[in-house]
Structure 1
Amino acid sequence: MPDQHGAWAMLAVPFLLGVFLGRPSPAHLPLAAAWFAGYVTVFHGQQWLRLRRHSRNPRAAARHVRPGLVSAAVLAACGPPLVPAHPWLLLAAAAALPFLAVNTLYAWRNRERALLNGLAAVVPACGMLLVALRLGGGTLAEGWRPALACLLYFGGTVPYVKTMIRERNSAGYRRASVAFHAVALALAARLDPWLAVPFALYLARAAALPGRGLKPAVVGAVEIAASTLLLTTLLLPR
């Protein structure tokens, strides 16, 4: 399985919000399988592409072939059967292609950790909220505010995590991360006053935690708690 642990919350939280903000349906099960299998397929495909171009070890790329093919088979088994009853899924998939192209280009260039690459990955993940919501009978009018809240949170995790690990010595990244979170707090509060609570906490952690030498496992645990808080807040009855 892919070792990008932070991606799993980004894949799961918007999807679950879409399911439970609407009406859970049996069709959500194959959609979930296709969604997660699609992520695994893309991950291994991009790693194969990157390593074929940049690694001197011929076996490095080859180890991504079998898991990529297995996940692609799961995707093919679960995704296409949904299309006859829900042809709009093809439009949703097409909308994700430009962002997939950006991620693939960065993988080909061996620059997967670039800021823009991370932000491009966030958009289709948050868009899955709208897909899951509509599959359960909901409307885009019901889902755009929660989807935007997810976009604000997960978009903010991209610069924040960099300040904790790869850019932990960069004062510029810290300022940019805090500025992003301050804007996100203002926008989230306009979307829903209840969102001011978690987004104020996200701003506080972006300002207070960088530079404290936290281990990656601790950073990950904080983000699991933060994403769970977002999920809970958005599901609270209004």
Structure 2
Amino acid sequence: MSTAGRWIPNQHGAWAMLAVPYAAGVLLGDPTWTQIPLFAAWLLAYTAAFHVQQWLRLRRLSRNPRAAARHVRPALVLGGLCAAVGVPLAVAEPWLLLAAAAMAPFLAVNAWHARINRERALLNGLAAVVPACGMLLVALRLGGGTLAEGLAPALVCLLYFAGTVPYVKTMIRERKSQTYKRGSIAYHAAALIAATALNPWLALPFAVYLGRAALLPGRGLKVAVVGAVEVGCSLLLLGFVVGVYG
């Protein structure tokens, strides 16, 4: 595997979660150049945190010290790049430090689950969703928007991405679990009601999400197909969030 392949996290489903709320925040406000280093710092922070978490996990579990050690250099380099991009931005916009502090407890939950080798736990996945959706508020604020303007669209993103956590499990790791499937369907039904209460137009995408949660598990779809469906669902979310709240 190439160096780039080793440095880039293999959690492919995370990229839409990292990008869509941020993109929504940019499009809902007035795009500004400061949102570019923000996105760079955000991606660098994610990749650095991934390697820190892998170091924590492997240092405790692996008998081979090199297994954990190979994550040290990426964590330091990517973390340093994140600081190089993020610190000047925080100097210009000091409130970003408060945003980072608000995300810290959720990152701590992720780090703890990595240390005990429970990264696939439902709680861990949900903890990762919250700061990702919070990036909508951060990007929107940099674009001149307000917290009040961003709360509803951020909640819509949270309703969708929280649902992807149990849904993807029903398609891959828990595909034989009827308990997970029923729980996923129940969540998506509740999310449909909540989204419709926020705006009736949101019933359309969330009905689609409920349908895929009810109909696709158990059909033996390949991982690539599952990923492609989620990319389409994420783009659908972005379109409706911007259309409804823009």
SS at match of 2:159: helix
Structure 1 residue 62: deviation in Å?
1.6
SS at match of 2:32: coil
SS at match of 2:21: helix
TM-score between the two structures when normalised by the length of structure 1 = 0.98
Separation of aligned partners in 2, 1:14 and 1:57: 39
SS at match of 1:113: coil
Q: After superposition, what is the alpha-carbon deviation per residue over 1:29-79, rounded to whole angstroms, capped at 9, x for unaligned?
A: 111110000000000000011001101222211221222222112101110
Whether the aligned pair in 2 keeps the contact of 1:145 and 1:191 (CA below 8 Å) is yes
Q: 1:70 pairs with 77, 80, 96, which one?
A: 77
Separation of aligned partners in 2, 1:165 and 1:83: 40
Q: After superposition, what is the alpha-carbon deviation per residue over 1:148-201, rounded to whole angstroms, capped at 9, x for unaligned?
A: 000000000000000001111110100000000000000001111111111000
- Trace 1:36-75 onto structure 2 (pairs within 5 A): 36-75=43-82
The CA RMSD measured in Å over matched residues stands at 0.9
One-letter amino acid of the counterpart of residue 231, structure 1: L
Aligned to 1:114: 121
The reply on whether 1:183 has 2:190 as its aligned counterpart is: yes
- Trace 1:48-197 onto structure 2 (pairs within 5 A): 48-197=55-204
What stretches of structure 1 move > 4 A for 4+ residues in a row?
A: none
Q: After superposition, what is the alpha-carbon deviation per residue over 1:5-42, rounded to whole angstroms, capped at 9, x for unaligned?
A: 00000000000000110011110111111000000000
Separation of aligned partners in 2, 1:101 and 1:74: 21
Separation of aligned partners in 2, 1:234 and 1:118: 22
Structure 1 residue 213: deviation in Å?
0.6
The reply on whether 1:227 has 2:234 as its aligned counterpart is: yes
One-letter amino acid of the counterpart of residue 11, structure 1: L
Structure 1 residue 137: deviation in Å?
0.5
Separation of aligned partners in 2, 1:6 and 1:229: 16
Aligned to 2:40: 33
The reply on whether 1:23 has 2:30 as its aligned counterpart is: yes
One-letter amino acid of the counterpart of residue 136, structure 1: G
Structure 1 residue 122: deviation in Å?
0.2
The alignment covers a number of residue pairs equal to 238
Structure 1 residue 211: deviation in Å?
0.4
Whether the aligned pair in 2 keeps the contact of 1:14 and 1:126 (CA below 8 Å) is yes
The gaps in structure 2 that reach 5 residues or longer are 1-7
Whether the aligned pair in 2 keeps the contact of 1:33 and 1:74 (CA below 8 Å) is no
Aligned to 1:212: 219
Aligned to 1:3: 10
The gaps in structure 1 that reach 5 residues or longer are none
Q: Percent identity?
A: 70
Separation of aligned partners in 2, 1:195 and 1:57: 50
Structure 1 residue 229: deviation in Å?
0.4
Structure 1 residue 85: deviation in Å?
2.2
TM-score between the two structures when normalised by the length of structure 2 = 0.95
Separation of aligned partners in 1, 2:192 and 2:28: 22
